[in-house]
Structure 1
C-alpha cells in the first residue's frame, strides 16, 4: 500500500486541500483511498463526507500523546498487508502535530518498518508565497534533513502569491537546490481570479464538497460548474505528470 503523509509545520497553507485533492485523484483513477485525519485542532479533512475519513485521536488532555501514533502504524500495517493492489492511504496532519509526528516517524524507524512490510511512504509538503514563504520553506528543509530516503512531493500553493524571495522562485532557491534529489515532483495550485474561480473554489471548500459533488449539485450555476471543471482538469493533469 502507498501511504501519503501531508506534512507542514505552518498552519493555514492548504494541507487539507492537498489531502482532499489526493483523495479525489485516487478515487477518479479507480482506487479507494483510506483517509485519516490526525489534526487535533482543525479536522477539516474528516469533514468531507465523500472521503469517510476517520479522525485519529492523538491528544492526552491538552498534550499530544506520541504513543497515539502507534494506532496509525497499526492501521497502516493492517491494511493491504503489503499487497501492491491494496488501496492507498492519505494521512492529513495538522501544524500542531508536525514536530511530534516527524519525531515519532524518525525515532521509531517507522519508514523502514513499513518498507519491510511492502508499504511505500511518500511525504507531501506545501510551499506558499507571501508571509508564510520562510516558514513553509523551513518545513520543507526540516523534512528533508531529518527523515531520510522518503520522496517528497512539493505543492506550490499560489493562493497567497507566487513563492518568490529576493527575486528567486522556490525552484531557484538554495533550499530546493540542496534537497532537489529528494523531490519526487512539483505540483502547482495556481493563483486564480478571486472574483470567479477563487470564489467558486472557496465556496466548494467551505461546504466540504468534492469537484464531482459540485458538478452534480443543483445549487451551483452552469458557469460555476464550468470553472471548477476547468480547475479540476488542470490539477488532475498535474497529478498525472507527478506520477502519484
Structure 2
C-alpha cells in the first residue's frame, strides 16, 4: 500500500468508527479499487458492520488481552502486499497493548522503509471525555512519532471554541511537527443534523446508501450531504500523501 491510516484513541465512544468510515468513503470515491478496510476492535466491531465497505475483521488481542502476534503480523503482511490505501480502525480496549506493540517492534518505521506513508487519526471529544482524549493524543504522538490528523468531534460537546484555539494548546505546540492537520466535525443542531447522522450510523449506512434510501426524508439527505461535503473539503485541503509524510518525518528528526 502507499498509505495506511490508523484511527486510534484510548477513550471509547468518541467517533473512531465514524471517522474510519468517512476516510474509507472519501478514498473510495477517488478510486473504488484501492481501499482496504480493517476492523481490529476486539469488542465493538462496528466498522465491520458497515457491509458496503467490505471490512476485514482482525482479532489482534488474545485471551490474555495481549497482542496476538500471528494475527497482527498477518495484518502487516496485508498492508505491505496490497496496493492502494489501508484504513485500520482500532478499539479503545486494545489501545495500550497496540501502542506498546507498535513501539517495541518499530512497526511504523518499518512500514515507512517499505515505502508506505503512515497516518494516525485521533479524535478529540468535548465534555467529560475531553481530558482523557487529550491524554491519549499525547501518548500516540509520543509513542509513534508519525504524521497525525486530529479530529475535533464536537457532537458530544464543543472541544474548543474554534480550531485556532487548538493551536494554542500545549499538546499542539509541543507536537506541531507531527500534527499534519485538523478536521473539525461541527456542532450542528442535535434535532436535525444530530438525528440524521445518528440514524445513518445506527443503520450502518454510507453517505451514498443514505442518498439512495427511501427511509430518509429529502431534507435529511440534504443535511447529510452538507455534512459530507464539509468534511471532504477539509480532507481535500490536507492533501495527505507521501510528500507530506516525508516532510513531517524530517521535521521531527530535526526537532
**1: distance between equivalents of 2:57 and 2:22?**
18
* Counterparts of residues 60-79 of structure 1 (less than 5 Å): 60-67=62-69, 68-79=71-82
2:147 aligned with 1:151:
yes
Give yes or no for contact 2:7–2:120 (8 Å, CA) kept in 1: yes
Alignment-derived partner of residue 6 in structure 1: 7
Could you list the per-position Cα deviations for residues 69-127 of structure 1 after superposition, in whole angstroms to 9, with x for gaps in the alignment?
Answer: 21211111221xxxxxx310000000011111111111111112111211111111011
The normalised TM-score by structure 2 is 0.88
* Counterparts of residues 1-244 of structure 1 (less than 5 Å): 1-31=2-32, 32-67=34-69, 68-79=71-82, 86-148=83-145, 150-164=146-160, 169-244=165-240
Alignment-derived partner of residue 82 in structure 1: none
Gaps of 5+ in 1: 80-85
SS at match of 1:73: helix
Alpha-carbon offset, residue 64 of structure 1: 3.0
Number of aligned residue pairs: 235
SS at match of 1:180: coil
Gaps of 5+ in 2: 241-255
Alpha-carbon offset, residue 62 of structure 1: 4.9
The normalised TM-score by structure 1 is 0.92
Comparing 169-178 with 15-24, which one deviates more in the overlay? 169-178
SS at match of 1:123: strand
Give yes or no for contact 1:66–1:100 (8 Å, CA) kept in 2: no
**1: distance between equivalents of 2:211 and 2:122?**
28
**1: distance between equivalents of 2:61 and 2:133?**
25
**1: distance between equivalents of 2:153 and 2:61?**
29
